[in-house]
Structure 1
Amino acid sequence: MKRYTLLRTFMLFIAALILCGWSSTHTQAAITKGVKAPGQTVCFEPDTTSVLKNPLTGWVMYLGRAWDENFWQTQHYDAMPVNGGDSTVRVSDYAGTCYIRINWNMLESKEGKYVWNDPDSRIYKLLASVRERGMRLAFRINVDSRDQGQNTPLYVKEAGAKGFQDPNNSQMWSPYPDDAVFQQKYEKFLQAFAVAFDDPDKVDFIDAYGLGKWGEAHAVKYNDYSNKVAVFEWITDAYAKAFKRVPLVINYHRLVGDTISWAEPHPDSKRLLERAIAKGYTIRHDAFGMTGYYEQWEKDFARAYRFRLPIIMEGGWITGAHHRYWIDPCGKYREGHSEDVRLGEYEESRNAHVNMMDLRIGDEVASWFNTSFDLVKRFEREGGYRLYPTEVSFVNKARSGEQVNVQHNWRNLGWGYCPTNIPQWKGKYKVCIALMDTNHNIVKKQLAEEADLSTWVQGRDGHYTTTINLDGLQKGSYTWLIGLVDTTKACQPGLKMAVDKNLLFEGWCKVGKLKINK
């Protein structure tokens, strides 16, 4: 009878522990021997309006290849009218990235003479004006001269590269991308370009293909069409070899690398794109809002990589030039109503969960701000990734040398995701808990190694417990901080969080106080 009573008591005890959640990870961490559990919790309301300008998210504006550094004034980018009224804004206050489709000839018209090394050149000053406004750059380098100017420097032709003339302009020459001389010269150029621009502080992404008409990865003209796959492998290898720190992107075109511009999807396209992705590429598309071009194949391809790769959007219709956008098969675009196209682009971008949208150039930028400024602001609130801590639980009293737990929950307000899973960002951005003394010195940092920012998507928050050792801290008062840090920069804050600016200190979010007693 006594044994039965003891056994019954023991079983009831075990059941009570299970019911109380003893098996939960957080509870286990909280009662671990020698680790002090949190005693105070603070909740945070998100900042849903500020433009955060984080990498690989938000608005992209384009540069004109013929512009100089004064375009901010001459194109009214420093005083862009909004909603048809008298008020103006700076485009650079909304766009975090500036994308330029430039050509090889503009960057290196003479072999080894690189324009980015010449402070007196127009291009150097143009790019510097972007950096002065706190924006990052993005590039596509075109080599095919059809429908454009001389895009490849003629020293390549003089070195013996084989090519072809523009059928509409016999003065314009382009190299065959399967020509060995062209490939050797272009690889040399890419290596030099990467020395200057494989820098994530300066550059957000490289549109890393650049072959075919307008560099859009279609209508590629080969000396021998059987070299199509070999050329694709060569160009993607060349960019991946040159750029290790800046993300590479490619147009997920249904005819990628092929000789025609539009038809049913080529059987090679998916496989080729997957080859680029395996080398570290992410994806973009140039025809959002063109429902006759951005069709089910494109939607399915994007869906397959949702939250696995960031998707970059570009609108297809040119509304400023009245490019007959009203003939779009969707039937929703009225002639003379560019705002219809803007809304169509926005809705398609939301459906695809894109990280970045484009304002593009000239009249297209004016259209976004003059007729659709509400969508510009709405994307800042809803699109890409927008991260913040919803709740942090911490210890407010402890002794030096103790171990304490901090529990922290995170949320992404955006429909995109923070791509810390891509090769160029692997391990770069992490959650960090810190302590600051009364002299505003950071005296302790602890990475939350278990926190993966790329998993925070709408409907799926992050919940973590991080243990901090207080060894070495003197008696006194401290402030708990939390942030999203750049591990390549001594764990200084690297991503801006969507929290009240009054709670921020040099990029850290102030959480609460800790008093250490000896």
Structure 2
Amino acid sequence: MRKPNFEKAAKIAVLTLACIYTAGCKKSLDEGDPGISMAEAEKKAAELGNVIVRPTYNSTSFLRNPLNGWVMYGKRDATDAYWDTQFFVPELGANVKAIDYASACYIRTSWRSLNPSPGVYTWRDLTSQMGKLINGVKTRGLPIAFRIVVDGRDQGENTPAFVFNAGAGYWLSNPANTSQKTPFPQDPIFRQHFTTLIEELAKDFNDPVITSFIDAYGLGKWGEAHNVVYAAPGTLTDAQTEAAKAETLDWITGLYARTFTKIPLVINYHRLIGHPTSWGAVNANSNMLLTNSINNKGYSLRHDAFAMTDYYQSWEKAFAATWKHKRPIIMEGGWIVTGTHRYWIDSGGQYREGHPEDVRQAEFDRSAEAAVNMMDFRVGETTSWFQTSFPLVQRFNTEGGYRLYPDEVALPNTIAAGATASLSHRWVNMGWGYCPNNIPQWNYKYKVAFALLDASGAVKKLFIDNASDPSKWIKNNPITYNFTTTSVDLTPGTYSWAIAIVDKTNGNKPGIALAVTGNVTNGWLKLGDVEVQSAVTTPPIGQSIKLRGSNNQFASGENGQTAMMCNRPTASTWETFTIVDAGGGKVALKSMNKYVSSENGATTGITCSRTTISDWEKFDWIVNANGRISLRGNNGKYISSEDGQSVMKCNRATVSGWETFALN
């Protein structure tokens, strides 16, 4: 490789080691990470005739990646300036914007705010409050997440009046306040109009570029999936309640799964999922109902109030553990600084009044335990995150969710036009979460890809390793892939190898930001130069060539004075050979007016010392699939470079890396 930010190894090194920034190469995996040793990696690369590149992990960068990182909350009544709200950070001695640390914006809103009357959808009207709110997010480059609330007991008219006017059944918890109607979710009129809403919403937001996830249940108080009303209290038997729960959950999750086919769907994993009560012992059917939604509808997990011990108990922790690294988990913090759920009266008794940082630490710890992908800057709680717990904000950005990078790549730096390249790449996830490539809405759309870039950085050739799967990259478990490209059918010249995780549903563009320090352009991490050479299909009779081994060194005839070696970093006259037609489809190699001889295997080393051509000086010229050539002597064995560590011999029964040579 020829770029100035790559260092050549010593003259007799087995291969070139490379790094992507001038501070030096990464010598080993971070402490605690398993993986093969450097020596083993170098040996494997040498066998393939490749060089090793070891990108350097970036442990501090903030990465905005899909379904990963902090979530900023939107407010129904927010003005456009809301998104630029600043918070003072003592550790920085400066103000910062929460949006600069967020990867998505969560809007928990009412059905009425989105659809106040039949056929009217406020998000399509940029002059409406909702239109301004959503547009404010979009113009700042963040994807949106939704929860749609229909219950009217605490917040008033969350379901629009036209639904009840059409005859939908409801329960009124306070007859004196007729705006607090809560619809029965099994009512056919309610379902008809709600289905229309979700179908219309999906027309505009079933797009992963603009939508992060959908909190796709929304029933019950605050849409949190508990305290759901199916009938007036005392009307249904226990069996009828359980039947209503199961049927309703199947209906609403089916609706979202049918309409939002490209967007992650999440559900609150409450121990009383869909139940008419909020408090009490675990319902026997909760696990079954949630598991059905996950397995049958492709749902992921979200839980409210991670640090509020009355909400987040042992059942919730155990359920999260069951799905750890199988489905992504999103954490919502507790409403603890203001309102009725003051943290110092939490039943856990672990929080000091006047110290919201106690709760922030607990949320962080519970999130690490559950390996969550996303945490919340909840409205009313954001200030305390920045003013009392900013180090935790930074830690989650660098420790939580997923942080992916290739810690080792082996690839050729020369290749013949039209040939294929055999590569290997190893990936490490330094975050405690995982990249949920396996959820049905993503359907394994993220794959590792290699590109050959021209001098302007344009992709001239793209190779996708379809065997790669980021959802399997878990912390402390590096995974290596061996990959053979398709034909490198490019005009001979110098190109740059680059690597990325691409989105196959978005034109194979890079879709995951990598946690690396290096030359990254448009999502592609440059690895170094590769020389695409003219294809050699027949022996170049009469031409002078140089033979470069898999160790990147040149073979020398040694002027016939000693056995040949393949250890020269540059090629001069002793390293130049003329290809001579030896008859019968065979060739001879001539240097300094002498011929290379196999010496029938030459256990003491082949020489370039014969003045005439006999059988030992004849070789079969073999072009390998990767465009490199091999030379087979009259003993049926192949010449080996011996990796430059000893004299060259003609005694190998098969071709591997040491038995192949590039032409220069």
What is the TM-score when the length of structure 2 is the normalising length?
0.71
2:620 aligned residue: none
Q: CA 1:269/1:26 → structure 2, altered by over 3 Å: closer, same or farther?
A: farther
Contact 2:45 2:52 in 1 (8 A): no
1:503 aligned residue: 519
Query: 2:315 matched to 1:297?
Result: yes
Q: Distance in 2 between matches of 1:85 and 1:321?
A: 29
Q: Deviations over 1:438-487 (max 9, x none)?
A: 23221111111111101101111120111123442111000000000010
Moved more, 340-349 or 38-47: 38-47
Structure 1 runs (4+) deviating above 4 angstroms are 24-31
2:196 aligned residue: 188
Q: Deviations over 1:312-355 (max 9, x none)?
A: 10112422448331233443310010011000110011011111
The code of the aligned residue for 1:87 comes to: A
Q: Describe the SS at the equivalent of 1:464.
A: strand
Deviation at 1:239, TM superposition (A): 1.0
Query: 2:133 matched to 1:126?
Result: yes
Q: Residues 252-331 of structure 1: matches in 2 within 5 Å?
A: 252-278=269-295, 279-321=297-339, 323-331=341-349
Q: Deviations over 1:136-172 (max 9, x none)?
A: 1100000011110200011111111111224273332
Q: Distance in 2 between matches of 1:214 and 1:281?
A: 20
Query: 2:50 matched to 1:39?
Result: yes
Q: CA 1:270/1:30 → structure 2, altered by over 3 Å: closer, same or farther?
A: farther
The code of the aligned residue for 2:441 comes to: Q
Q: Distance in 1 between matches of 2:206 and 2:480?
A: 34
Deviation at 1:49, TM superposition (A): 1.4
Q: Distance in 2 between matches of 1:332 and 1:165?
A: 38
Q: CA 1:442/1:172 → structure 2, altered by over 3 Å: closer, same or farther?
A: same
The code of the aligned residue for 1:234 comes to: W
Q: Distance in 2 between matches of 1:471 and 1:341?
A: 56
Q: Distance in 2 between matches of 1:67 and 1:166?
A: 29
Q: Deviations over 1:407-459 (max 9, x none)?
A: 11110010000000000111211100110112322111111111110110111
Deviation at 1:230, TM superposition (A): 1.2
Identity of counterpart residues, as a percentage? Answer: 46
Q: Distance in 2 between matches of 1:439 and 1:146?
A: 60
Q: Describe the SS at the equivalent of 1:288.
A: coil
1:205 aligned residue: 213
Q: Distance in 2 between matches of 1:165 and 1:26?
A: 72
Contact 1:319 1:325 in 2 (8 A): yes
1:428 aligned residue: 445
Which of 34, 51, 61 pairs up with 2:72? 61
Query: 2:397 matched to 1:373?
Result: no
2:167 aligned residue: 160
Q: Distance in 1 between matches of 2:472 and 2:309?
A: 31
Which of 142, 146, 155 pairs up with 1:135? 142
Query: 2:63 matched to 1:70?
Result: no
Q: Describe the SS at the equivalent of 1:233.
A: helix
Q: Distance in 2 between matches of 1:221 and 1:403?
A: 63
Q: CA 1:297/1:40 → structure 2, altered by over 3 Å: closer, same or farther?
A: same
Q: Distance in 2 between matches of 1:324 and 1:92?
A: 26
Q: CA 1:316/1:383 → structure 2, altered by over 3 Å: closer, same or farther?
A: same
Q: Distance in 2 between matches of 1:344 and 1:196?
A: 38
1:52 aligned residue: 63
Q: Distance in 2 between matches of 1:513 and 1:444?
A: 14
Contact 1:208 1:248 in 2 (8 A): yes
Q: Distance in 2 between matches of 1:397 and 1:161?
A: 71
Contact 1:451 1:462 in 2 (8 A): no
Moved more, 222-231 or 413-422: 222-231
Q: Describe the SS at the equivalent of 1:70.
A: helix
Deviation at 1:287, TM superposition (A): 2.1
Deviation at 1:28, TM superposition (A): 9.3
Deviation at 1:375, TM superposition (A): 0.3
Deviation at 1:85, TM superposition (A): 6.8
Q: Describe the SS at the equivalent of 2:80.
A: coil
1:493 aligned residue: 510
Deviation at 1:228, TM superposition (A): 2.2
Query: 2:485 matched to 1:461?
Result: no
Q: CA RMSD in A?
A: 1.9
2:350 aligned residue: 332
Query: 2:266 matched to 1:249?
Result: yes
The code of the aligned residue for 2:322 comes to: A
Deviation at 1:176, TM superposition (A): 1.0
Q: CA 1:344/1:274 → structure 2, altered by over 3 Å: closer, same or farther?
A: same
1:512 aligned residue: 528
Q: Distance in 2 between matches of 1:158 and 1:108?
A: 14
Contact 1:317 1:341 in 2 (8 A): no
The code of the aligned residue for 2:533 comes to: N
Query: 2:98 matched to 1:82?
Result: no
Q: Distance in 1 between matches of 2:359 and 2:143?
A: 27
1:6 aligned residue: none
Q: Residues 141-152 of structure 1: matches in 2 within 5 Å?
A: 141-152=148-159
Q: Distance in 1 between matches of 2:412 and 2:91?
A: 53
Contact 2:373 2:400 in 1 (8 A): yes
Q: Deviations over 1:104-161 (max 9, x none)?
A: 0011111111111112111111111111222111000000111102000111111111
| Larger helix fraction of residues | 1
Q: Distance in 2 between matches of 1:84 and 1:30?
A: 49
Contact 2:152 2:179 in 1 (8 A): no
Deviation at 1:50, TM superposition (A): 1.6
Unaligned runs of 5+ in 2: 1-39, 535-664
Deviation at 1:26, TM superposition (A): 12
Q: Describe the SS at the equivalent of 1:161.
A: coil
Q: Distance in 2 between matches of 1:505 and 1:287?
A: 40
Deviation at 1:305, TM superposition (A): 0.3
1:385 aligned residue: 402
Contact 1:29 1:465 in 2 (8 A): no
1:442 aligned residue: 459
Q: Deviations over 1:180-239 (max 9, x none)?
A: 110111111111111111111111100001111111111111136422221111111111
The number of residue pairs the alignment matches comes to 484
1:173 aligned residue: 181
Q: Describe the SS at the equivalent of 2:72.
A: strand
Contact 2:419 2:489 in 1 (8 A): no
2:98 aligned residue: 91
Contact 2:76 2:129 in 1 (8 A): no
Q: CA 1:341/1:192 → structure 2, altered by over 3 Å: closer, same or farther?
A: same
Q: Describe the SS at the equivalent of 2:179.
A: strand
Q: Distance in 1 between matches of 2:91 and 2:173?
A: 42
The code of the aligned residue for 1:214 comes to: W
Deviation at 1:262, TM superposition (A): 1.0
Moved more, 201-210 or 165-174: 165-174
Q: Distance in 2 between matches of 1:141 and 1:26?
A: 55
Q: Distance in 1 between matches of 2:404 and 2:338?
A: 35
Contact 2:444 2:469 in 1 (8 A): no
Unaligned runs of 5+ in 1: 1-23, 32-36
